[in-house]
A and B are shown apart, each in its own frame.
Chain A
Amino acid sequence: QKEVEQDPGPLSVPEGAIVSLNCTYSNSAFQYFMWYRQYSRKGPELLMYTYSSGNKEDGRFTAQVDKSSKYISLFIRDSQPSDSATYLCAILEAYNNNDMRFGAGTRLTVKP
């Protein structure tokens, strides 16, 4: 079993839709939870990160963590064509020298 599971998609939605991206993980030792956005032929850029269960909001983006279920989500409200990218979840075991694990990434296309 992979340590981080993420549906690779692809996911295609119309402009203005609410997007839900999800990951599950297996190791409860992981402490920090991140979402990266990667545009085509670019390096991943950090979108949001959190270290606690619950919701964290930043503009149109909401990151949600449920540690009891080992489930993390990223919601995008009022999606825009510029949101079209691959979204990778990542989790980090902070007490093990920043050991980080990435999901496979979900490719999202927002159609005008």
Chain B
Amino acid sequence: DTAVSQTPKYLVTQMGNDKSIKCEQNLGHDTMYWYKQDSKKFLKIMFSYNNKELIINETVPNRFSPKSPDKAHLNLHINSLELGDSAVYFCASSQTPSGGGEQFFGPGTRLTVL
């Protein structure tokens, strides 16, 4: 059973397009995250949702909009894609935002903007 799943696994698209990445977790966790991993493998948090409410919103362009239809899903929509958006995007979930430390990661979505 996949704990945290992301679709698609690979996404190649042209500059200027709008695309979405979906994330689902079947762990019953309350908190979900989106991370961006750049070419140097540095992971940066982008957003965090707890029970469908936005709790962390780092400085990312407003072309990126997370959407959480329910606490098991956190989707990432990106408008007007730019070359610099090319990266691997990881979704993750954890039991609660109040400590513990363990986050479960999805397999990542490799986005390439041409």
- Whether A8 touches B41, Cβ cut-off 8 Å, given contacts A42-B107, A46-B103, is yes
A97 partner, pick from B44, B48, B102, beta carbons under 8 A: B48
Q: Give 16 A-B pairs besides A88-B41, A98-B98 with Cβ atoms closer than 8 angstroms.
A: A8-B40, A33-B101, A34-B101, A94-B99, A97-B48, A97-B56, A97-B97, A98-B31, A98-B56, A98-B96, A98-B99, A99-B48, A100-B45, A100-B103, A104-B42, A107-B41
Give the chain A neighbours of B45 by CB distance below 8 A: 99-101
Give the chain A neighbours of B4 by CB distance below 8 A: 43
A46 partner, pick from B43, B48, B98, B102, beta carbons under 8 A: B102
A65 to chain B, nearest CB (A): 12
Alpha-carbon distance A91/B62, docked complex (angstroms): 26
Give the chain B neighbours of A88 by CB distance below 8 A: 41, 43
Alpha-carbon distance A8/B41, docked complex (angstroms): 9
Alpha-carbon distance A86/B42, docked complex (angstroms): 11
Q: Which of B47-106 contact A (CB under 8 A)?
A: 48, 50, 55-56, 90, 94, 96-106
> Would you call B44 and A32 a contact (CB within 8 A)?
no
Give the chain B neighbours of A104 by CB distance below 8 A: 40-42
A28 to chain B, nearest CB (A): 16
> Would you call A43 and B42 a contact (CB within 8 A)?
no
